[in-house]
């Protein structure tokens, strides 16, 4: 079936360390995989996406890795800052465009 | 540039009452979406629109109706609210058909008692 899940519901890291948030997916037909950040009381905010024909994509302080063999997606945040504290959602965009399946989210705590 | 604006931000309804949530975007996006977010779950798509005058059902459309009379506005209606519709509702819009970079509003917290 279609599902997007997360290995850890919460992640606590020290300021300045790197963070890795993991996600598993089950639908092989997904075209895109997306990471969103949601701060308390706000709507989700797009971070980065990766197309299914890629295995790595880098942005500003973030890197997304896609392993289609094991259906695993990860978001790496370099030099984690207090402003990175939020809930992070992975999502997959099913072929056709309009159906985006969201995972339940991982809450990232950054300790000063 | 306000982006995506939702009104109201909070609302409490009694079972059986009706209401309309308004979403407005000023980015000239063709595609608009309504999601609901429940505790411990990701966002689930209720309805979406691919352009002015069009609407389509998402994953969880039952109990909701939508209208897109103007390109910049997408309305979500609850005709007879039920406690199961207690949730946080998010509107989003996107420029591309494949909505990887969707812009979300601040959300509407709805409680049905």
Q: What is the structure's pLDDT at B97?
A: 66
Residues of A in contact with B4 (CB under 8 A): 43
Quick count: other Cβ atoms within 10 Å of Cβ A31? 16
pLDDT tens track for B93-112: 998 766 678 899 999 999 99
The beta strands (E) that lie in chain B are given as 4-7, 10-13, 19-25, 31-37, 43-49, 56-57, 65-67, 73-78, 87-94, 103-104, 108-112
**A1 falls in which pLDDT band (50, 70, 90)?**
very low
C-alpha B49, offset from chain centre: 10
pLDDT tens track for B1-58: 679 999 999 999 999 999 999 999 999 999 999 999 998 778 999 999 999 999 999 9
Closest to B5 measured CA to CA, from B107, B76, B105, B110: B105
Q: Give the strand pairing for B108-112 and B56-57.
A: unpaired
Indicate the average pLDDT of chain A. 88
3-state secondary structure of B65: strand
Mutate to test the interface with B, among A1, A35, A43, A53 (most CBs of B within 10 A): A43
Q: What is the structure's pLDDT at A29?
A: 83
Higher pLDDT, B7 or A3: B7
**Would an 8 Å CB–CB cutoff place B56 in contact with chain A?**
yes
Q: What is the structure's pLDDT at A3?
A: 45
Residues of B in contact with A105 (CB under 8 A): 42
Q: Do A105 and B42 touch (CB under 8 A)?
A: yes
pLDDT above 60 (res A75): yes
Residues of B in contact with A103 (CB under 8 A): 42
pLDDT above 70 (res A96): no
Higher pLDDT, A109 or A102: A109
C-alpha B102, offset from chain centre: 13
pLDDT tens track for A4-22: 544 448 999 999 999 999 9
Choose among A4, A32, A41: nearest Cβ to B98: A32
Write down how long chain B is.
113
pLDDT above 70 (res A73): yes
**A97 falls in which pLDDT band (50, 70, 90)?**
low
Closest to A44 measured CA to CA, from B111, B2, B64, B42: B42
The residue-averaged pLDDT of A45-52 equals 93
Q: Do B104 and A34 touch (CB under 8 A)?
A: no
CA–CA separation, B17 and B81 (whole Å): 5
């Amino acid at each position: 079936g279609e599902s997007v899940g997360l290995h850890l519901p919460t992640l606590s890291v020290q300021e300045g360390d790197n963070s890795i948030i993991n996600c598993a997916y089950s639908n092989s037909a997904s075209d895109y995989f997306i990471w969103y950040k949601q701060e308390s009381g706000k709507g989700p905010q797009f971070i980065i996406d990766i197309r299914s024909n890629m295995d790595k994509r880098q942005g500003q302080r973030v890197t997304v890795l896609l392993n289609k063999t094991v259906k695993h997606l990860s978001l790496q945040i370099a030099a984690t800052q207090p402003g990175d504290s939020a809930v992070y959602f992975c999502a997959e965009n099913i072929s056709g465009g309009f159906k985006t399946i969201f995972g339940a989210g991982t809450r990232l705590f950054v300790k000063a | 540039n306000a982006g995506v604006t939702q009104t109201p931000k909070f609302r409490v309804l009694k079972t059986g009452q009706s209401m309309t949530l308004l979403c407005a975007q000023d980015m000239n996006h063709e595609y608009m979406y309504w999601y609901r977010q429940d505790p411990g779950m990701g966002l689930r798509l209720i309805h979406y629109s691919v352009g002015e005058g069009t609407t389509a059902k998402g994953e969880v459309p039952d109990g909701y109706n939508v209208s897109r009379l103007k390109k910049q506005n997408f309305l979500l209606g609850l005709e007879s609210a039920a406690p199961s519709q207690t949730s946080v509702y998010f509107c989003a819009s996107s420029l591309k058909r494949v909505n990887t970079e969707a812009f979300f509003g601040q959300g509407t917290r709805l409680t049905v008692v």
